[in-house]
Structures are given as structure tokens and as C-alpha cells.
């Protein structure tokens, strides 16, 4: 029997790299340990993504600041904020930043895809993911990923991002057109961090995904055999544990300091290094 292809997603691959224990709790343990409640910065991120998707469903005549404000109002997720005043203040802030961001976008030019599913198949894996936006620029496809954290991403972030490279490879196959340019659009600052891949750099990223998936195939099998007795899922404590959704189930992570408040991501530091906040956006249906 040929070995079945390993079904991967960028989030799954990155979860393993972040922390094997968290990967196990998120993807293997059944019943799945209860994750902590949603934080405010995740609510802001999901609402912003939803508005930037639904904006393109509006008729041209309603693609206005007022139309955006209405979308923010109806998309708002009032979860994780300190109090109603903080929620209202961030709703106004998101409205302003999305309006400003869309001012630099040609609102008459419909994107090629919005939250579009793309898939990639190699000899050993299948990768599926959902891309925030795909643009058609002079016959080529461009991957656009929205960011909403406090810190604007750098060109190095665009260059090294595994998900962006896999999206580009997947989009090229889905649309049968070149797709080598990936862009991180930081909505609050309206900055764009971009990178142009080459065939070789995309191949290197696909090989990286295959290598990680090879590790996952091995540890998944170990888990299937030994369950939580498996030694493959060593916790990897770090300062990011104070943001981890599963730290209530992880004594080692609890040693890393007090848990951050639900709204800490809005105010103090940028938690974007903990990828779970991004995953909830990437993997939403
Ligand atoms: S609390 Fe830290 S060590 Fe524990 S699962 Fe989360 S990230 Fe891993």
C-alpha cells in the first residue's frame, strides 16, 4: 500500500514548531482540552478580516467610509475587552484604520479571490489553506495577507513566512498562473512588506513543509500508539506561554509567569509571535 499523503495546513505545521505540547493539545488530544476564552486582539483581528472581505460584496456606491463603518458595526466581536468603553474605543479605531487602509486600494478593482481556499499536493503531503486576498496584477497572482497586530511586519517576515510561500505555490496551481509575490499588509499602519519568490525559494519552502510534515507523521503515529504517554510532545516553555490558549492544562507553561489579561494584546506587547491568534483567523470556516 502506498503511504497516504499527510494532510497538512500551515497552522498545523507552525503549531508543531512553536511547541510540541501545544500541538498535541490542539490537534491530537480527544476530547480536545478546553482552550481559554478569546482575547480582545483576536476579536479585533477577526473583525478586521471580516470587514476587509465583506467590503468587496458592497455595491460600488456603498464602498464609502460610511459603508465601512456600518460593516465594522455589524462585524464587531465584543469579546475579551476590559469594559464596554475599551470595546467602543477599539471599534472606532478599527473603523478609522480600515477606512484609511482602503483609501490606498482601488475599490473598483475586484480582487481575484477573497478568503480563497488553495491547495498544494506533493509526493508526500497535501497542504490546504485560506488566503485573505488574491490580486490579479498584470496576469500574475499576488498573495495578500492582512496583519492587525501592534508591530508592522518586515520584508524579512514576508520572505521567511512558510504559510505565504505555500499559499503562493497553491495559488499558482489553482489558477494555473505565475504567483511568486507575497505581501503582508499591516492594516493599522497601511504598510506593505513584500517579497518576490523564485522557483527555487518556493521549492525550498515546500521541502521545509514536507520535512515538518515528516516529523508530524512520526509523532502522530507515536501518539496513536501511546496516547499521552508518548514522549514526543515535550513542552517548550517560553515567554509566549503567558499567551498560550492551553496553558491551564500545562504546568510547565504556568511557571513562565502570570497569564496575560484578555486585553493585554491591545495595549502592552505584540503577541503576534504566538501564532495561535493568527490560526484562529486562518482556519475560520
Ligand atoms: S503553556 Fe507554553 S509549554 Fe505549555 S503548551 Fe502552551 S506554549 Fe507549550
Q: What angle do CA 109, 113, 114 make, to 5 degrees?
A: 100
Asked whether residue 139 is assigned to any structural domain, the reply reads yes
CATH code of the domain covering residue 119: 3.90.320.10
Ligand 1 neighbour 259 (Cβ under 6 A):
no
In a domain, 176, yes or no: yes
User: Of the candidates 229, 52, 12, 210, which has an alpha carbon nearest to the alpha carbon of residue 144?
Assistant: 52
User: Residue 224: inside a domain, yes or no?
Assistant: no
Which pTM was predicted? Answer: 0.92
Whether 20 lines ligand 1, by a CB cut-off of 6 Å, is no
Is residue 182 one of the residues assigned to a domain?
Answer: yes
User: In the prediction, which pLDDT does 273 show?
Assistant: 40
According to DSSP, the β-strands at 191-196 and 140-147 are unpaired
Q: Is the CB of 249 under 6 A from ligand 1?
A: no
pLDDT score, position 191: 97
Residue 272 pLDDT: 46
Decide: 44 and 150 in contact? Cβ < 8 Å: no
| Residue 121 belongs to domain spanning | 113-205
Ligand 1 pocket mutation pick from 235, 240, 242, 275 by most atoms within 8 angstroms of CB: 235
Using a 6 Å cutoff on CB, does residue 274 contact ligand 1? no
Number of folded domains in the chain? 1
Cell, residue 259 = 497569564
Mean pLDDT by 10 residues, the chain (285 residues): 92 97 98 96 97 97 97 97 97 98 95 97 97 97 96 96 98 96 97 98 98 98 97 96 96 95 78 38 34
Write phi, then psi, for 163 (nearest 5 degrees). -55, -45
Measured from the CB, is residue 243 less than 6 Å from ligand 1?
no
pLDDT of residue 268: 54
> Is residue 150, in this structure, part of any structural domain at all?
yes
Amino acid at each position: 500500500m502506498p503511504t497516504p499523503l499527510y494532510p497538512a495546513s500551515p497552522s498545523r505545521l507552525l503549531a508543531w514548531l512553536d511547541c510540541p505540547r501545544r500541538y498535541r493539545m490542539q490537534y491530537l488530544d480527544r476530547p480536545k482540552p478546553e482552550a481559554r476564552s478569546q482575547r480582545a486582539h483576536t476579536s479585533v483581528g477577526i473583525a478586521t478580516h471580516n470587514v476587509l472581505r465583506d467590503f468587496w460584496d458592497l455595491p460600488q456606491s456603498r464602498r464609502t467610509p460610511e459603508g465601512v463603518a456600518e460593516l465594522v458595526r455589524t462585524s464587531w466581536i465584543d469579546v475579551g475587552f476590559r469594559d464596554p468603553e475599551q470595546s467602543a474605543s477599539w471599534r472606532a479605531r478599527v473603523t478609522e484604520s480600515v477606512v484609511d487602509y482602503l483609501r490606498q486600494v482601488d475599490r473598483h478593482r475586484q480582487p481575484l479571490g477573497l478568503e480563497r481556499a488553495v491547495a498544494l499536493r506533493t509526493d508526500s503531503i497535501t497542504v490546504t489553506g485560506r488566503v485573505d486576498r488574491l490580486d490579479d496584477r498584470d496576469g500574475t497572482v499576488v498573495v495578500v495577507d492582512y496583519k492587525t497586530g501592534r508591530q508592522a511586519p518586515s520584508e524579512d517576515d514576508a520572505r521567511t513566512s512558510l504559510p505565504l510561500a505555500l499559499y503562493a505555490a497553491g495559488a499558482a496551481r489553482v489558477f494555473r498562473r505565475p504567483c511568486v509575490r507575497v505581501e503582508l499588509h499591516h492594516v493599522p499602519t497601511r504598510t506593505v512588506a513584500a517579497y518576490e519568490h523564485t522557483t527555487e525559494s518556493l521549492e525550498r519552502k515546500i521541502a521545509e513543509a514536507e520535512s515538518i510534515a515528516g516529523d508530524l507523521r512520526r509523532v502522530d503515529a507515536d501518539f496513536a500508539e501511546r496516547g499521552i504517554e508518548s514522549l514526543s510532545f515535550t513542552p517548550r516553555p517560553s515567554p509566549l506561554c503567558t499567551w498560550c490558549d492551553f496553558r491551564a492544562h500545562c504546568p510547565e507553561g504556568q511557571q513562565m509567569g502570570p497569564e496575560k489579561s484578555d486585553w493585554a494584546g491591545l495595549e502592552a506587547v505584540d503577541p503576534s509571535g504566538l501564532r495561535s491568534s493568527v490560526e484562529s483567523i486562518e482556519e475560520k470556516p
